[in-house]
Amino acid sequence: MAAVTGPLCTWLVAACLSAACDADEHKQKHCCPGGSGAGGGAMFGQGRERRRLGARRRGAARSGMAMAVALQAERSVIEKKKPDIKQRRVVVTGMGVVTPLGHDPDVFYNNLLDGVSGISEIERFDCSNFPTRIAGEIKSFSTDGWVAPKLAKRMDKFMLYLITAGKKALENGGLTEELRNELDKTRCGVLIGSAMGGMKVFNDAIEALRVSYKKMNPFCVPFATTNMGSAILAMDLGWMGPNYSISTACATSNFCILNAANHIRRGEADVMLCGGSDAPLIPIGLGGFVACRALSQRNSDPTKASRPWDMGRDGFVMGEGAGVLVLEELEHAKERGAKIYAEFLGGSFTCDAYHMTEPHPEGRGITLCIEKALADAGVGSEEINYVNAHATSTQSGDLKEYEAIVRCFGQNPQLRVNSTKSMTGHLIGAAGGIEAVASIQAIRTGWVHPNLNLENPEDIVDVGVLVGPQKERCEVNVALSNSFGFGGHNSSILFAPFK
């Protein structure tokens, strides 16, 4: 009988706990008026407090029930349960960028505030026979001090951008080599994705194969796959925590950022490098987007080519680069004295399940994504006063997103909306990474950057919602950053000032 007693007691305790917790949750729902649904006109900031109080309340309820009904012999089992996902707060402690507007977060954002365009004629290869000959091309870039020279010669640029931006984010976050050596590296991870991966490495391998397989680069397979950037960076740092990449077209960065945050929230990691990187500016990359008629052909005036919400838009402008964040568990960041740039509140993913390249005509997936992101973050729609829109300068995409934003936040007279792509072009999988940095910089500086080239807005667009041609003062309460990708992938993430 003794052999049966342990498992039987365990089962009985689990059953009691389940019933008690269900009863407690029912009681809180039906007997506690004034909860999260009360006070729809609450002042800004109360949503976050409600979220924290709710997390503490849930934690207290669970521990209280455990004490009431658990047998002493089972106490250790209960205490080993993973912490509530809402109990671990995630903060941004570092930022790194490689962009057409600079390779430092402050330089990058100051150029955005000044309305500087990074779009110009492509110089890397002869594109005179293409109908599109402009892009957000990075003219000057060096890996010196960031990537070993031997690897720098062999790697695809998407990996070079990724590793450089990742290490710059660590430097920006004060995570020096000496301090990194003190970290528990089993709880540090890398999740930086790419939409296109190593296109040049793969293309060069095809050209070599035309001669002989013996001419192929032996690294062509690993250096072409999207996961290898995160893998190489983790090897360099010795970080043994979560390590992979996500590829969801132009929504890639946001998917990576939210999943990285969730690893921290679930207690699986303390520090995560996350974001996206892409280097699609090669003939096959340009030609592919030209073939699907997605690109602007305003070659005579490159800086005017990216025109989100403007009647004269004729497609998006390709860009390249990387955007990487250091996400950290709050107490871990405090213990090392980290500078906290913002708090990551939450986010969401959805799928349109409609078309490969076009958004759902009613914007259902986008609206659902935003609503789920607000629920995950525990904030009300009235708390959002800044949206960094995906807005790529395409005919249907811009309007469907705008309609969804107004549907969700149209009652907020303080709402400001802009598009970073009006100056950088569309960095494909890296877009969400640099736009997350732009959102965080808006929180830090109290300024939101202008929308370039919005000269003749679409009739349905309220210019009172969109930022004008000059930067505007905005004390950001909660910022929402959207990214959407081919395949109907939708992603929204939220940041707020750390309090």
Tokens linked to 393: 């300068």
Please calculate the CA angle 194-385-172 and round it to the nearest 5 degrees.
45
Q: In 3-state terms, what secondary structure has residue 113? A: helix
d(CA 123, CA 263): 41
Structure confidence at residue 354 (pLDDT)? 92
Rounded mean pLDDT of 184-196? Answer: 98
Block residue for tokens 């057409």: 100
φ, ψ of residue 285 to 5 degrees: the values are: -70, -50
Q: CB–CB of 122/134 below 8 Å?
A: yes
Q: In 3-state terms, what secondary structure has residue 71? A: coil
- DSSP characters for 317-365? -BB-EEEEEEEEEHHHHHHTTPPP-EEEEEEEEEE--S-SSSPPTT-HH
Confidence check: pLDDT of 63 > 90:
no
Of 32-46, 209-223, 277-291, 398-412, the least confident = 32-46
Task: Give every CB contact of residue 208 below 8 A, 6+ residues apart in sequence.
Answer: 215, 216, 217, 220
Structure confidence at residue 277 (pLDDT)? 98
Which H/E stretch holds residue 439?
Answer: helix 431-445
- Sorting pLDDT into bands at 50, 70 and 90, what band is 466? very high
Is 489 a residue of the active site? no
b/e per residue 446-483 (b: at least 16 CB within 10 A): ebbbbbbbbeebeeebeeebbbeeebeebebbbbbbbb
d(CA 52, CA 58): 10
Is 426 a residue of the active site? yes
d(CA 241, CA 266): 13
The catalytic position among 103, 263, 360, 426 is 426
Distance of CA 223 to the CA centre of its chain: 23
Mean residue pLDDT across the chain:
87
Tokens linked to 111: 């150029």
pLDDT tens-place string over residues 288-316? 999 999 999 999 999 999 999 999 999 99
The catalytic position among 127, 250, 408, 474 is 250
pLDDT tens-place string over residues 207-262? 999 999 999 989 999 999 999 999 999 999 999 999 999 999 999 999 999 999 99
Structure confidence at residue 410 (pLDDT)? 86
The catalytic position among 103, 332, 360, 390 is 390
Structure confidence at residue 363 (pLDDT)? 87
d(CA 389, CA 401): 8
Query: Of 412, 402, 417, 384, whose CA–CA distance to 459 is shortest?
Result: 402
Q: CB–CB of 479/442 below 8 Å?
A: yes
